[in-house]
Amino acid sequence: MEDIGDYEEVKSLKSLKMEKGLLYETIVTTLNGEGEGNAAPIGVICKSPKEVILYLYEGSHTLSNILATGNFTVNITDDPILFTEATLGDLESDYFIPYSEYLILKGASSFFTATMKKVKSIKRRDRYGESRLFIITADVKRICKGKNFKEPLNRSIYAIIESLINYTRINRVENKGDIIDRILEMKRVVDKVGGSREKMAMKMIIDSLRTKLDQQSNALQR
Amino acid sequence: MEDIGDYEEVKSLKSLKMEKGLLYETIVTTLNGEGEGNAAPIGVICKSPKEVILYLYEGSHTLSNILATGNFTVNITDDPILFTEATLGDLESDYFIPYSEYLILKGASSFFTATMKKVKSIKRRDRYGESRLFIITADVKRICKGKNFKEPLNRSIYAIIESLINYTRINRVENKGDIIDRILEMKRVVDKVGGSREKMAMKMIIDSLRTKLDQQSNALQR
């Protein structure tokens, strides 16, 4: 087993600033039955200080590896190159560090190992068609916090900021439909990944937008 | 002068994890000539460990207040309600704490005061029309890091993640134009606010997307 570097073991996902109910953007590493490594960007929901939930679509390596071995590692990073290479499929084996029955992503600012305890599959229809979705609940095993700890990425505050940027443009643009569509898209992001304060902020933005548009349309009718 | 709470004074923007050349989403507080407070969400560029640059459009209170007094405070927070209320214009005076000739936003996880040393104005045409833009360079005065410090928000990693989410959808959607437009919009965000690693990641995504689309169009022509 290689030296994994400068990490301190902690007891709860709270120590990684992960909050119950929120979804974080991470890179999940897994091994297949033959011991070959895989890394993919995956949203991980914090269910409790020692439990997480993953939503995985049929056909992904991450899913088949977790179903085969029961194990996975959640790696926390904000490195854009790691996210990009994990998505484009270019992560070579020298990015991985073996760690007991797990694999760690080199450069992760923190990571934790997990073991599947429940799996449920449902059919899901979205705007892109029908697919089978697997909902995996897992117990968190060992949590290692890096000396150079960075908080896990949650997209909701950025969805709020992008909504606000669009909100301030509403008076300047002809095509208000695009702005409204974009804000509603950001609302879907917040509903999926955000906490109660982000959801409250989104409600304020949409209420204020509605009032503004009503006033403009009343003014036009006069 | 009110007690401003639990902050530690530090010497450099590096202590707030602000990097040269990057743009951070903050809330800027200012006072007008009559001593009335204002707060607005403003992107602040870190020019050096003790200097920042602001781009402000004609007509904003933040601009007229800085031109009148020379002073402003940059407040660092990730609170969605503060960003939303500052944009919708609902921040009441009990959100502000007077601090020498400055104003601090209550609840900021860190803040620093600054004094304008240079101002330049240029005419700018964008897709929304022509407007006058003021470029303000300022010296950073006092930097106060909160005990519960959180890193300032930079949108570039989220632009990368959103691009990657769109990238993985390209095979599933009919209208590839929407996906490409969205990724190019995210490229503009990264060019504006991001660092070298985010720019490199964006280049990798666009190159890979181009290869993929070329292969598909070649396959169609066969």
Residue A13 in 3-state DSSP? helix
Measure the CA dihedral A208/A210/A215/A220, to 10°.
150
Tens digit of each residue's pLDDT (9 = 90 or more) over B85-99:
999 986 878 899 998
Interchain CB distance below 8 Å, A164 and B84: yes
Q: If we measure between CA atoms, which residue out of A69, A73, A114, A68 comes closest to residue A95? A: A73
Mean pLDDT check: name the lowest of A118-127, A186-195, B27-36, B167-176.
Answer: B167-176
The DSSP 8-state label assigned to residue B153 in this structure reads B
**According to the model, what pLDDT value does residue A222 have?**
62
Mean pLDDT of all residues in A154-182: 90
What's residue A209's pLDDT?
93
* A41-57 pLDDT tens trace: 999 999 999 999 999 99
Is there a contact between A28 and A44 (Cβ–Cβ < 8 Å)? yes
**Are residues B81 and A197, on separate chains, in Cβ contact within 8 Å?**
yes
What is the model's pLDDT at position B24? Answer: 98
Domain positions in chain A? 7-146, 156-221
- Picking from B24, B42, B158, B162 by the largest number of A CB atoms within 10 A of its own CB, the best residue to mutate is B158
* Nearest chain B Cα distance for residue A168, angstroms: 8
The verdict on a CB contact (< 8 Å) between B78 and A150 is no
Phi, psi of B96 (to 5 degrees): -105, 145
Q: How close, in Å, is residue A194 to chain B by CA atoms?
A: 10
Q: Do B158 and A153 touch (CB under 8 A)?
A: yes
- Is residue B4 within 8 A of residue B104, CB to CB? The reply is yes
Q: Provide mean pLDDT across the span B138-156.
A: 94
Considering the domain delimited by A156-221, tell me its CATH architecture: Up-down Bundle (1.20)
Mean pLDDT of B123-150: 90
CATH of A7-146, one of 2.30.110.10, 1.10.287.130, 2.60.120.280, 3.10.330.10: 2.30.110.10
Better-scored residue on pLDDT, B35 or B221: B35
Q: Which residues of B touch A (CB under 8 A)?
A: 25, 41, 78-81, 83-85, 87-88, 128-129, 150-151, 153, 155-158, 160-162, 164, 167-169, 172-173, 197-198, 200-202, 204-205, 208
Residues of chain A positioned with their CB less than 8 A from the CB of B131: none
Measured between beta carbons, the chain B residues lying within 8 angstroms of A81 are 197, 200-201, 204
What's the rounded Cα separation, in Å, for the pair A42 and A61?
12
> Alpha carbon of A200 to those of A1, A159, A194, A214: distances in Å?
47, 13, 10, 21
Residues of B in contact with A205 (CB under 8 A): 84, 88
Structure confidence by residue, pLDDT tens digits, A3-14:
566 899 999 999
* B168-188 tens-digit pLDDT: 988 878 788 888 999 999 999
Q: From the list A81, A161, A164, which residue is nearest B200 (CB)?
A: A81
User: Nearest Cα to A114, choosing from A146, A80, A139?
Assistant: A139
**Who's near B61: CB < 8 A, 6+ residues apart?**
B30, B32, B38, B40
Rounded distance, CA B123 to CA A203, Å?
A: 36
Facing A128 at nearest CB: one of B156, B169, B202: B169
The more confident residue out of A135 and A93 is: A135
Cα–Cα dist A151/A82, whole Å: 16
Q: Which of A138-147, A169-178, A196-205 has the lowest mean pLDDT?
A: A169-178
Name the token pair of B10. Answer: 């530090």
pLDDT exceeds cutoff 70 at B3:
no
Q: What region does B147 belong to: left with phi over 0, alpha with psi -120 to 50, or beta? A: alpha
The string of pLDDT tens digits covering residues B60-110 is 999 999 999 999 999 999 999 999 999 998 687 889 999 888 999 999 999
Q: Is the pLDDT of residue A2 over 60?
A: no
More confident call, A132 vs A219: A132
Min distance A119 CA to chain B CA atoms (Å): 24
Instruction: Give the distance from residue B145's alpha carbon to the nearest chain A alpha carbon, in angstroms.
Output: 17
Question: Does the pLDDT at position A92 exceed 90?
Answer: no
| Chain B closest-CA separation from residue A222 CA (Å) | 26
Distance between CA atoms of A28 and B82, rounded to whole angstroms? 33
Tell me which residue of A208, A187, A172 sits closest to B90, measured CA to CA. Answer: A208
pTM of the shown model = 0.90
pLDDT at B1 over 50: no
- Quick one: tokens of B195? 């660092």
What is residue B171's predicted lDDT score, i.e. its pLDDT?
A: 80
B85–A208 CB contact, under 8 Å = no
- Given a cut of 80, whether residue A180 has pLDDT beyond it is yes
CA-nearest of A127, A218, A220 to A181 is A127
pLDDT bracket for residue A114 (50, 70, 90): very high
